[in-house]
Amino acid sequence: MKSKIVAVLLALSGAAVQAQNVEVKDAWVRTAVPGQLGTGAFMKIPSKTDTQLVGVSSPVAGVAEVHEMKMDKDVMT
């Protein structure tokens, strides 16, 4: 399981290298518990310029999705 987590983090950080204006910060993956089919990877992806994230993929996951979250007046949305 640890090798899969490392592979996901490396894959995600590799995507940031392709776009020089983007970096991945504070990346981590939640460990799946026995019987759990999915997990999540969390990170901050700041950009110094207008940059659009158009997709995400992982060599170790059947499905990869992006969900945006942001703080707005002390409320996570």
Spans of all domains in the chain: 2-76
Q: Cα separations (Å) of 66 from 6, 34, 35, 74?
A: 19, 24, 23, 22
Q: In the predicted model, is pLDDT for residue 13 greater than 70?
A: no
15/72: higher pLDDT: 72
- Mean pLDDT, to the nearest integer, of 27-45? 88
Q: Quick one: pLDDT at residue 4?
A: 62
**Which residue, 52, 53, 24, 58, is CA-closest to 39?**
58
User: What pLDDT digit, counting tens, does each position of 49-69 carry?
Assistant: 887 888 888 888 888 888 888
Claim: this prediction has a pTM higher than 0.75? no
As a three-state string, the secondary structure of 33-74 is CCCCCCCCEEEECCECCCCCCCCCCCCCCCCCCCCCCCEECC
Helical (H) or strand (E) element with 28 = strand 25-29
